[in-house]
Amino acid sequence: MTELLYDFGSGRSDPGNFPTKALKAAALKVLDEQSDEINNYPGSLGHLGMRQAMAQRESTRESVTVDPEHIVLTNGSMQAVTLTAEALMDYPGDSVIIEEFSYPGTLSAYRSLKYNMVGIKLDEGGMRMDHLEEQLHRLNNEGKLPKFIYAISTYQNPTGFVMPKARRLDMIALARRYDIPIVEDNCYADVHYDGHVEPAVYALDDNPNHIYLCSLSKILAPGLRLGYILARPPMLKRILERRHDAGGNYLTAAIVAEFYKEGIWNHAKVTNASLKEKRDLTIRGLKEQLDDLCIWSKPVGGLFLWVRIPDDVNRQKLYELSLQRGFKYLLGSSFHYRGKDVPYLRLAFGHLKAKQIEEGIPVLAQCLREARTSNQARQFESLFMS
């Protein structure tokens, strides 16, 4: 088996910035002070200190008051995705609105639950509101209104794009018109590099039906398995009724809460500076190697680049060639809501060393050129297919 030298497939933060010493100190303090609590079940909401820390995270970023009693700690954001989907479903076959390209974990969860996914086309501003309105109108006429709209509106996975505030307000207005909730997945919220931060949906609209999902996998470490749901009553009660595990990992939550007791921003500044350098290095490599053939996103946050490749590339051959040479990426079909084979690939740069990026992109470029079936010039000027 070929050694994996350039793993651009896994979406993780920079392991070089993992705060080992600080977390070790936090762990010792927690073990000294909270041993009684660790020997109890944490309850369905989870560790209070962690919920307070995440409420502070949200309140500071969004400039609105967030109640820790409205936060539910989960085993990563995927448990939050699944709990929410279960709570909102009435029957298998219910419809859900989702971006045409979305997070594979969410797609898998919705398929397992037998949701009918309705994909909405994307552009540089995220989910297209004209197509959303068209699909909501159609579904309403068919008597099949979706149970909710699922949107990764900030640093969208896989494209990396951000939905502008005006479009978020349009999405809120459409949701209000048809009386359906919005489930906003904002797990890349603080992996931010450039420009201003667009407000979360809950900060723009106080509708108690909206649900917000977030995570620490991308800003700290995925192995901690810490995510959360922010939901107001009565939606909060509806979600908690689906929870049967007596709460999440108290020890991990307590350690991270101690680490973040002064807020997440100091550590985020360190990690984001490093990640921005890697983003820039990846874009530079693509420009040097593939500017004549491909178009890619230029995200202002998050961990991914979305790359459109020529239609004449034999995509199976490209994938096999790349793996043979130690280069891994994720296929565009992994992100399509119907698994459609599309001329895209996603590159994740966060956990790689600079040298791996510098050496890896030329490997991808060579494989791509070898996998083409023609020598035609690039036939497209947009990242998105019409």
Q: Mean pLDDT per segment of 10 residues, for the chain of length 386 residues?
A: 90 90 95 91 92 95 96 94 97 98 97 98 96 98 97 96 97 98 95 93 95 93 93 96 90 95 89 96 98 96 97 97 98 97 97 97 98 92 88
Q: Of the candidates 173, 209, 176, which has an alpha carbon nearest to the alpha carbon of residue 88?
A: 209
pLDDT at 236: 97
Going from N- to C-terminal start, the domains of the chain cover 6-16+266-370, 20-263
What does the pLDDT read at residue 1? 63
Predicted model pTM:
0.95
149 CB burial (10 A radius; 0-12, 13-18, 19+): buried
pLDDT at 113: 97
What pLDDT is recorded for position 275?
Answer: 96
For the domain made up of 20-263, give the CATH fold: Aspartate Aminotransferase; domain 2 (3.40.640)
Could you tell me where the DSSP H helices lie in 250-307? 250-259, 265-290
Q: Is 20-263 in the same CATH topology as 6-16+266-370? A: no
Using only C-alpha atoms, the chain has a radius of gyration, in whole angstroms, of 21
Q: Which two tokens stand for residue 325?
A: 């040479």
CATH class of 6-16+266-370: alpha beta
Is the distance from CB of 122 to CB of 100 less than 8 angstroms?
Answer: yes
